[in-house]
Structure 1
Amino acid sequence: MWFVNFSKTNCKNCYACVRVCPVNAIRVKDEKARIIKERCIVCGRCSKACPQNTKGIRSEKSIVKHFLKSKEKVVASIAPSFISTFGENSSKIPNALKTLGFDYVEETISAVDPIIKEYNIYANKDEENTYITSFCPSVNNLIQKHYPEIINNLIPVVSPFICHGNMLKEKYGEDVKVVFIGPCLAKKVEAYDNESIDAVLTFEELEKWIKSENINLKELEESAFNNISLHKRLFPIVGQPIKDISNQDTKKNIISVDGIEECIQILESIKRGKFKNTLLEMSCCRHSCIGGSGMPEDGISCYERKQNLSKYANNLLIKNKEGINDENNYLSKICVHKEFQSLNIPLRIPSEEEVEEILNTMGKYKKSDELNCGSCGYKTCREKAVAVYNNMAEINMCMPFMREKSENITNIIFDTTPNMIVITNKDLDIIQLNHAARKFFNMEREVVKGLPIVMFLEEEKFYNVKNNNKNIYKEKVTIKQYDSTIIQSIIWVEQSQLMIWIADDITRNEYIEKKLQNMKIDAINMAQKVINKQMTVAQEIASLLGETTAETKVTLTQLKNLIQEEEENI
């Protein structure tokens, strides 16, 4: 599983994730959305946009719990933006982490000096190149996966949390387990193949963990980090990481950029050679780290988070003098250099004929058919066609096409069915009727539309259905004014406030059935006459047979007597 994905069960084909993904890293297959990890920059926008809350973020909390139960030492490296999340309870977080079982708790920002030093070197390079900070892992992913041609513009140094992880291993020993806790989902990916970080938790995961352990932050004692300067505590705010550099007389222009759309605009401009001699601080998330993808969804605005940071930092400055960073001895041994490699996997580019063929399957045969509405998640219909060609999208993601297709099918069924159909509004005025109904009423569509249904049919039954909310199904009635017999159903659709009349004209069937009935009766009568006649004939035959039999008997008797007399006289 990739670090962020969706539950297949709850995906409802809304394409909200596709619409918000800035790099088209969502594949829709079999009507289910999945993340393409080769394109994903782990900005977290898709999971926040999902209305079904189907996000599946791979948590490493179980790994961390396993570390805490073992005999190994575990140290938490916590990002400075924790203050913006926990507000007035921020000073309780170190003790909360120790209550959970961590042996040591240190701030990630304590290891930032070597990185800022490298940035300062690039800010003072005497040439025209433009350079981009490598603080933000999502920006790094964006450049490596989608803008490989400007990888050389990315300053080749590690993120502060990687530097801090290396420092903690140097400080506590290679066997210590380092758990980074921060506001960013992309840190999970960056740490995956890095030996200096053993697990990553987001602030959202930490907040839920603290609640599940029934730890009341208000009941814990305060514990503060005293060796962090006010300026460093404000690093999660846009522009702060390079504030010291921008305040100097550098050879390059210093620009801060936050938000993925703005970052993409700048990267496109760099591709076109529009930026020269500039150092760009880039953050994928709007408002930088205080708007991070791993922040809790607690309804706190970024401006409140910024206020929490400033208030905490100023209060701490009043209570404690800025301490000396005693981590320099360890940091001096850390190599912060990193080579960024291209991770770009280009899309297959279809020919113009192949694009046209795909567009045609979406019902787009001419330029005016390409609405470019963006409902599918792609900016243009042609961009969607390329996605279909690369098996990233499906034809039925085109909402206008599917709606038109559905309406066409509905209209075909509506107009070709032999059933008569009339649709009225709640006032029983005709909205729509099909061809069979128009033929039955012998009226044109334009003439009938808008007329009350009671001009053609009995109104009482319609009002009874509507008022009693009890539909009529397959009722046989005779309409005298049309000299017809029909089977009708009257249905009230409460949700849409519509009345639907569906009927079959069975007048001819009734005539044929009546005719058949009469033919049956005539046949029975005829059969009865034949039977009667046959019985009469039979009776006459029987009578004749009776008479001849009697005569025969008399004759035979006389003959017998005559023979007997002759025998006696002999």
Structure 2
Amino acid sequence: MQIIKIDHSLCTQSYACVRTCPVKAIVARTDGKPVVNHDRCIGCGSCLSVCGSNAVSHLSELDKAIELLASDNKVAAVVDPTISGEFPDIQDYRKFVEMIRKLGFEYVSEISFGVDLVARKYKELLENFKGKYYMAANCPSLVSFVEKYYPELTDNLAPIVTPMTATAKVVRKAFGSDIKVVCFGPCLSAKHEASLFDDDGRVDAVLTFRELRLLFERFNIKESKVEYSDFDPPIGNLGSLYPLPGGIVYAAEISTDLLKGSTISASGKENMQQAVEEFSQNTENIKKHFSLFYDQGCLMGPGTTDRSHKFLRRSMVVAYANKRLKDFDPARWEKDMKRFSSLDLSRTFVKDDQRLPVPSQDRIEEILKSLGKDLEDRASCSACGHKSCRDFAISISQGLSKPEMCQTFSLKSKNDYIKTLKNNNEKLKKQTEGLQELEKALKTENQKIKQETETISALLQNLPSAAVIVDDKLKIIESNQSFIKVLGEDAEMINEVIPGLVGADLKTLLPYPIYNLFTYVLENDENVVGKDVNHGDSLLNISVYSLKPNKIVGGVFRDMYVAEVRQEEIINRVTEVIDENLKMVQNIAFLLGEGASTTEKMLNSIIETYQKIQKP
């Protein structure tokens, strides 16, 4: 099931969603846009709260619920007790219940009774302890996390359904097996959980509290327009505390005594992950059962409207539970518990291993060095979304992260490049100042050389192919506008400051497969002719030619996809065109080295060559 969606038209590529995902189910494509790997996703919803551009959304079953209400079926609403923290604007929960009825629901039940049933099953499981420790399976995100990333622990998940599923079973036994069930709650992963059951525990649609508010708005249902109405029985007891961390343990009346208690409760993304890891590694030493939730119990679930004021929400849940317990009928509750005790609340789990191979230590070190992370420079700031620089390097190797997600690497790369350009400019400035006296003495000759250079540069700029000349350190000597366009917008901006990108490092402008061709020619003095390389949306035909052995090389790039060049011309004449361009670059380099004495001859040669190319 695809719970999370990303609208690329709204995405600003901040990678906030990539960083926050606890299982790295969101990865950046080669074009930089983040995409969701739905097989890895656990439906926790962390990405929703960090996206500042509202590009991340979730699966909505709003229309499905409306269709159910418009059908001839009787529909029951089951409501998570988190309503007390979600709807403080509704003064009395009985008004809230009637508002739901006005939507067209025949029955409105609170999940708290389902919590009580499940809690009793947990108490029985723990009281019949036979040496095996369990993790409570009430949080669907936790269950998915274990199934996908700790599949060896699936046997340690308590084989008991969630309160939502248990409540669906109660509703069908109480009101009829053919009834449709819609759940309102704070959880996104419950949408996936609902798809797992097709028996009496099935939930036909799961809506978040935000979606419930949209229903109220669509049908213009307001508190001031309705009367009081209470939940349909059976009524829950301590299950009203379920939204709180440890609430179900309290409802089960399981001892939380620090010395004698058998259960540890934890909630929140980091705590849940750490708890599962420690359960995996140290169960025999900890010797406790774990009750874990991803989102502070259900109190701060991603389906809530305002994920803030955690402690205010907590106090509202407690106040709501106390209010419900004032009129609590223990005898009726026990009778209902006995009546529904025969329901099958068992379940199984499926191993769905999504773990990726861990690279070798040598590969990890190689990536860390490429990030500029020496042994003394691995601060592990976690800004990338990983606990350590090592984990980040592993994620890069697995294709789940990009180096640019490291803030220090990104800033250092940009700052170093800017610093390099500034230093080059300063050096050029000092050289210019130092040569001013010499320039006066050689003014006439230099003026002539300048004119020749401008002529050659203008010719280079008018070449139809992209061309660049670099030295033995891959520093650019000369390039044309076609080459700068191949590099993209960033290079065009730099070109405005440094025309022709003179002095720029080719390694910072082109990917390794391309600049390595220049390195090869420099080292081996062997030309590379007609090499096809994919670059972005272009197919480049690249030739690199040695102009001065081991000192200067020139490259010619031709985009094989340009609209102006028909396909048959590319196929029939690409070799001829490349050869002619290489001769031009070679002749240009010769002119630069030998001076103005052969300028006229070379220009005529270039003109004749291009006249030959332009002939039909």
TM norm structure 1: 0.68
- Alignment of structure 1 residues 120-131 onto 2, 5 Å: 120-131=123-134
Call closer, same or farther: CA 1:111–1:408 in 2, change over 3 Å.
Answer: closer
Which range moved further: 68-77 or 271-280? 271-280
Question: 2:227 — aligned with what?
Answer: 221
The aligned runs of 1:290-309 (5 Å cut-off) are: 290-297=299-306, 301-309=309-317
2:112–2:238 Cα contact (<8 Å) kept: no
Distance 1:228 1:47, change over 3 A: same
User: How do 1:130-279 and structure 2 match up within 5 A?
Assistant: 130-195=133-198, 196-225=202-231, 228-243=235-250, 244-247=252-255, 253-274=262-283, 275-279=285-289
Q: Structure 1 residues 241 and 296 mapped into 2: Cα distance closer, same or farther (>3 Å)?
A: same
Aligned residues: 428
**For residues 127 and 407 of structure 1, do their structure 2 counterparts lie closer, same or farther at Cα, with a shift above 3 Å needed?**
same
| 2:61 is the alignment partner of 1:60 | yes
Contact 1:111 1:327 survives alignment (8 Å)? no
Among 352, 356, 367, the alignment partner of 1:343 is: 352
**Structure 1 CA distance for aligned equivalents of residues 497 and 151 of structure 2:** 64
What is the alpha-carbon distance in structure 1 between the residues aligned to residue 13 and residue 385 of structure 2?
11
Q: Alignment partner of 1:115: what SS?
A: helix
What residue ranges of structure 1 are gaps of 5+ in the alignment? 418-433, 444-499, 504-570
Query: How far apart are the structure 1 equivalents of 2:62 and 2:229?
Result: 24
1:375 pairs with 2:365 = no
Provide the residue aligned with 1:508 in structure 2. Answer: none
8 Å CA contact 2:255, 2:262 repeated in 1? no
Flag the 1:185–1:501 CA change in 2: closer, same or farther, 3 A: closer
Query: Which amino acid letter does the alignment assign opposite residue 20 of structure 2?
Result: V
Label 1:354 to 1:63 Cα distance change in 2 as closer, same or farther (>3 A). Answer: same
Matches within 5 A, 1:326-475: 327-328=336-337, 331-364=340-373, 366-368=374-376, 370-416=378-424, 434-440=426-432
Q: Which has the higher contact order (CA 8 A, sep 6+)?
A: 1
Give 1:171 shift. Answer: 3.2
1:47 aligned partner, one-letter code? L
Q: 1:322 to 1:223 in 2, by over 3 A?
A: farther
Change (3 A) 1:369 1:236: closer
- The partner residue of 1:280 within 259, 273, 290 is 290
Describe the shift of the 1:276–1:381 C-alpha distance in structure 2 as closer, same or farther (beyond 3 A).
Answer: closer
Q: Is the 8 A contact 2:117 2:337 kept in 1?
A: no
Q: CA contact under 8 A between 1:227 and 1:322: conserved in structure 2?
A: no
Deviation for aligned residue 1:270: 1.9
Letter in 1 for 2:348: E
Distance 1:399 1:347, change over 3 A: same
Structure 2 residue 24 is the aligned partner of structure 1 residue 24: yes
Identity of aligned residues (%): 29
Shift of 1:336: 0.9
Distance change >3 Å, CA 397–CA 303, structure 1 → 2: closer
TM-score where L is the length of structure 2 = 0.64
Deviations 1:107-164 (A, max 9, x none): 1222234422221122223444322211111111222122222222211111011111
Cα deviations by residue, 1:67-119 (Å, 9 ceiling, x for unpaired): 11111111111111112212324221221112111121111222234422221
The 1:316/1:115 distance shift into structure 2, 3 A limit, reads: closer
Q: Take 1:248 and 1:402, find their aligned partners in 2: how far apart are those partners?
A: 48
**C-alpha separation between the residues in 1 aligned to 2:367 and 2:129?**
51
Counterpart for residue 461 of structure 2 = none
Q: How far does residue 409 in structure 1 lie from its aligned partner after superposition? A: 3.0
User: Contact (CA 8 Å) 1:60, 1:200: kept in 2 or not?
Assistant: yes
Aligned CA distance change for structure 1 residues 278 and 245 (closer, same or farther; 3 Å): farther
Contact 2:267 2:293 in 1 (8 A): yes
CA distance in 2, matches of 1:376, 1:501: 32
Q: Does the 8 A contact of 1:77 with 1:179 survive in 2?
A: yes
Contact 1:18-1:26 within 8 A present in 2 as well: yes
Change (3 A) 1:2 1:330: farther
Instruction: Tell me the equivalent position of 2:609.
Output: none
Q: CA deviation at 1:236?
A: 1.8
Q: Kindly indicate whether the alpha-carbon contact (under 8 Å) linking 2:116 and 2:239 is maintained by their aligned counterparts in 1.
A: no
Distance 1:99 1:182 in 2: 18
Q: C-alpha deviations, 1:351-407, integer Å up to 9, x for none?
A: 33433444454455x434545343332233332232222222223333333333323
SS in 2 for 1:281: strand
Change (3 A) 1:85 1:502: closer
What is the SS of the residue equivalent to 1:105? strand
Cα distance change, pair 361–248 in 1 and its aligned pair in 2 (3 A): closer
Deviation at 1:334, TM superposition (A): 2.1
RMSD: 3.0
Which has the greater radius of gyration?
A: 1
Structure 1 pair 248/27, CA: closer, same or farther in 2 (3 Å)?
closer
Matches of 1:227 and 1:358, distance apart in 2: 59
Q: Which residue of 2 aligns with 1:69?
A: 70
Cα deviation, residue 191, structure 1: 0.7
| 8 A Cα contact 1:42 1:138, kept in partner | yes
CA distance in 2, matches of 1:177, 1:227: 18
Structure 2: how far apart are the matches of 1:14 and 1:269? 32
SS of the residue corresponding to residue 112 of structure 1 reads helix
Q: Secondary structure at the match of 2:350?
A: coil
The residue that corresponds to 2:113 in the other structure is 110
Alignment partner of 2:77: what SS? strand
Amino acid at match of 1:70: S
CA separation of 1:252 and 1:314: change in aligned 2, threshold 3 A: closer
**1:90 maps to 2:100:** no
Partners of 1:183 and 1:294 within 8 A in 2: yes
Structure 2 unaligned spans of 5+: 436-495, 500-616
Matched letter for residue 258 of structure 1? S
Aligned pair in 2 of structure 1 residues 75, 351: CA closer, same or farther (>3 Å)?
same
Instruction: Out of 341-350 and 300-309, give the one that drifted further.
Output: 300-309
**Do the aligned residues in 1 keep the contact of 2:75 with 2:179 (CA within 8 Å)?**
yes
1:122, 1:131 within 8 Å by CA — same for their partners in 2?
no
CA contact (8 A) 1:74 1:103 kept: yes
